[in-house]
Amino acid sequence: MMRGGEMIDELDDLFASAKAAAMQPSDALMARVLSDAAALQMQPVVSVPVRRRGGCLAGLAAVFGGAGSLVGVGSAAVAGLFLGFVQPDGLGSVADVWASDTVDQVELMPQVDALLAEE
Amino acid sequence: MPRDTLAELADEALVVLYANGDPDAARLLTKRLLPRVMGYAGRMLSDRVEAEDVAQEAMLRLWKVAPEWRQGEAKVSTWAYRVVTNLCTDRLRARRRRRLDALDDVAEPSDGAMSVVAGMIEADRMAALDGALAQLPERQREAVVLRHIEGLSNPEIAEVLQIGVEAVESLTARGKRALAAILSGQRAALGYEGAE
C-alpha cells in the first residue's frame, strides 16, 4: 500500500485538530463588524423642513394656485388701475346707458321718520 | 423583539429583522456567523490579518445585501461561505501573482529539519496541514476544507461552490488522497510514525 494510503486514516485526526484550532475573531474584529452593521442599518426617517426656493413670491404663487394664476391676477389688477386713472370715453357711454339720469344726492341711509309719522 | 425570542430565530429571519432596523439582530448574526467565517478564512489563507479582512468584508456584504434578502432562497451561512471562498480565491491568486506566497515556506519544510523533530507541537502540525492544503488545486482545497474542517454537507458545499453534488464528492475524495500523499513524508514529524 502506498504511504499516502496509510496517511488517509490519520487525516481525520488532523482535520479534527484543525477544527479545534480554528482562528477565532478578535474583540477588535467583532467591534468593527458591529460598527459596520450599525452604520449600514436602516436609519430612522427624520423630517427636515424643506427650505422653499423663491421666497415670498413663490409663497404668493402657491396661494393663488401657481405662477400662471398669479400672472393672471396681477394683469387684471394692473388693467383695473389703468382704466381707473385713464377713464376712456367709451367707459362714460357705458355708464350713461346703465344709469342715464344725473344723480345729485344719494341717500345711503334713509331715515325712518317718514314711516313713523304715518302711524 | 426580546432577545430570548431572537435567539430562536433562523439566520435568514435575523437578516430580515436587521434590515428592518433591529439592532439586536446584527449582534446575534455576528455572534453566530463571524466565528465560522473567520475560521474558514483563516484556514484558507493561513494569515490572521488577511483572514480578518476577509471576514469583515463578508459581513459587510451581508449588511449591504440584507434589505434585498429573500427568505427561502439560500441559507445565510452558505451564502457567507460562498462570499468568503471567492474573497480568499482572489487573495490567493494575487499572492501567487506577486510570488509572495508565505504558504510556500510552510509547505516545503526541509526534510532534515522535519526528521530532527520527534514530534511537532500542535501549531506545527497545523502549519504542515495548511502547507499541504496550499498545494492542492483551488477547488479541491475548498471542497476538503468545507467538508472535513467546516463540516458542511455535500449539498451545502455544492451550493457554496456552485457545482453539482457528484463533483463535490469527486473533489473531496481526490483532495483527501492528494493531501495524504503530500503529508505521507511527514508522518513521523506529525507524530504518527510507529503508531501502527
Partner A, chain B 150-189, Cβ-Cβ below 8 Å = 150-151, 176-185, 187
Give the distance, in angstroms, between the CA of residue B184 and the centroid of all CA atoms in the same chain: 23
Q: How far apart are CA B190 and CA A6, in angstroms?
A: 13
Q: Indicate the residue among B85, B100, B115 that finishes a domain.
A: B100
Residue B103 near residue B134 (C-beta atoms within 8 A): yes
Give ipTM to 2 decimals.
0.81
Domain match, B17 and B44 both: yes
Same domain as B84, residue B10: yes
**CA B36/CA A105 separation, integer angstroms:** 103
| B32 lies in the same domain as B57 | yes
What's the total number of domains in chain B? Answer: 2
Nearest to A36 among B59, B125, B180 (CB): B59
Residues B21 and B63 placed together within one structural domain of the fold: yes
Statement: residue B12 has pLDDT above 90: yes
Chain A residues touching residue B176 (CB < 8 angstroms)? 8, 11
**Cell numbers standing for residue A21:** 484550532
H helix runs in chain A, sequence order: 3-20, 27-40, 55-63, 67-86, 89-98, 113-118
Same domain (yes/no): B20, B93: yes
Residues in chain A: 119
In this structure, the answer to whether residues B30 and B77 fall within a common structural domain is yes
A–B CB contacts, 8 A cutoff, strictly below: 124
For the segment A52-83, what is each residue's pLDDT rounded down to a tens digit? 555 666 666 766 677 777 778 778 888 888 77
Within an 8 Å CB–CB cutoff, is residue B69 touching chain A?
Answer: no
Residue B24: list chain A partners with CB under 8 A.
none
Pair (B2, B82) in one structural domain: yes
d(CA B133, CA B179): 7
* Mean pLDDT of all residues in B173-177: 95
Fill in the amino acid letter for B87: L
Look-up of cell digits 485526526 = A13
A103: left (phi over 0), alpha (psi -120 to 50) or beta: beta
Comparison of pLDDT for B116 and B187, the residue scoring more: B187
Domains of chain A, residue spans? 66-96
The reply to whether B117 and B73 lie within a common domain is no
Interface residue of A8, A24, A33, A40 to substitute, partner B, most B CBs within 10 Å: A33
Smallest CA–CA distance, residue A16 to chain B, in Å, is 7
- What is the rounded CA–CA span in Å between residue B159 and residue A24? 25
CA distance A67 to chain B (A): 41
The nearest CA of chain A is from the CA of B94 a distance in Å of 22
Report pLDDT digits (tens) over A4-29: 556 777 899 899 999 998 999 999 99
The residue that leads in pLDDT, B177 or A75, is: B177
Q: Chain A residues with CB inside 8 Å of B123's CB?
A: 21
Q: Which residues contact A93 (CB under 8 A, 6 or more apart)?
A: none
Give kind and range of the element (H or E) at residue B57.
Answer: helix B48-65
> Is there a single domain that holds both residue B118 and residue B88?
no
Q: What is the pLDDT of residues B98-114, one digit of tens each?
A: 765 555 555 554 444 44
Tell me the residue range of the domain where B127 lies. Answer: 102-196
Boundary residue ending a domain (B68, B100, B132): B100
CATH at residue B144: 1.10.10.10
What pLDDT does B8 receive? Answer: 83
d(C-alpha B133, C-alpha B147), whole Å: 13
Q: Of B100, B126, B151, which one is at a domain's C-terminal end?
A: B100
pLDDT at residue A87, rounded to an integer: 72
Whether residue B142 is found in the same domain as residue B180:
yes
Q: What 3-state class would DSSP assign to B157? A: helix
Contact A23 B27 (CB under 8 A): no
Q: What's the average model confidence in pLDDT over B42-63?
A: 96
